[in-house]
Chains A and B, each alone.
Chain A
Amino acid sequence: SVLLYQKPNRDICQSGTSLKIQCVADSQVVSMFWYQQFQEQSLMLMATANEGSEATYESGFTKDKFPISRPNLTFSTLTVNNARPGDSSIYFCSSRQGGFNERLFFGHGTKLSVL
Chain B
Amino acid sequence: AQSVTQPDARVTVSEGASLQLRCKYSYFGTPYLFWYVQYPRQGLQLLLKYYPGDPVVQGVNGFEAEFSKSNSSFHLRKASVHWSDWAVYFCAVSPLASSSFSKLVFGQGTSLSVVP
Binding site for B on A (CB under 8 A): 4, 9, 31, 33, 40-45, 48, 92, 94, 96, 98, 102-109
Q: Which of A41, A104, A108 contacts B104 (CB 8 A)?
A: A104
Q: 1/0 contact trace for B28-62 toward A, CB 8 Å?
A: 00000000100001111110010000000000000
Task: List B contacts of A96 (CB < 8 A).
Answer: 101-102
How many interface residues does B have (CB within 8 Å)? Answer: 22
Contact of B44 among A44, A48, A106 (CB under 8 A): A106
Stretch in B14-22, B63-71, B78-86, B106-114 touching the partner? B106-114
Is A108's CB under 8 angstroms from B42's CB? yes
Interchain CB contact under 8 A, B43 and A4: yes
Q: Does B102 lie within 8 Å of A42, measured CB to CB? A: no
Would you call B89 an interface residue if the criterion is a C-beta within 8 Å of the partner chain's C-beta atoms? no
B41 surroundings in chain A (CB, below 8 A): 9, 108
Between-chain CB contacts (< 8 Å), 8 pairs: A9-B41, A40-B108, A41-B108, A92-B44, A96-B102, A98-B98, A104-B104, A108-B43
